Amino acid sequence: MDMAALAEHAVSWLATRQPAVIRLLERELATPDGDALAAGVEMACRVLGGPTRIGRLRLDHNVLNSGLAAVRSGRCDRAMVRSLRDQIEELPRVVLTPYEQDAVATTVAAILWAILDLNLRESEEAAAAALEAPPGPAITLTMVA
């Protein structure tokens, strides 16, 4: 498969499995030239990574909006945002203004925040379920001589 086909497959997968992410990207990054949206889609594909454990998470608009609010209020790790900016600068064939670059970094950081938040909630729910589960049957071992 050539690079264009791989990219098309990744975008198709993202649109099918993560429609709320696509809507977030369109809402936050739509510009007349489309470069910011293209960069956002590329970065979202990298973050979600296709059909992996992270990619199987279903991100909805509520968790994504919470992530966006968290990032905009400064609760996001600055090193992560710097790393995102570096990756955005390295994207081929995309020319972004500083404002667009900031918007892409903010939106992708919100997606990352949403993934981490959802993973944390699922872990907490699994731990609570394990604590609430009734104890298993007692096992008695008898030694026969």
Mean pLDDT of 131-136: 62
77 C-beta neighbours (distance < 10 Å), count: 12
pLDDT tens digits, 83-104: 999 999 998 888 899 999 999 9
Q: Which residue has the tokens 């600055």?
A: 78
Write down the domain spans for the chain: 3-132
Scan for tokens 């690079």, then name that residue: 3
| pLDDT tops 70 at residue 28 | yes
Contact 64, 21 (CB under 8 A): yes
- Rounded CA separation 110/80 (Å): 11
| Alpha carbon 62 to chain centroid, angstroms | 13
Can you tell me the mean pLDDT for 14-23?
A: 89
Mean pLDDT to the nearest integer, 54-70: 86
Mean pLDDT on 52-62: 75
pLDDT at site 49: 74
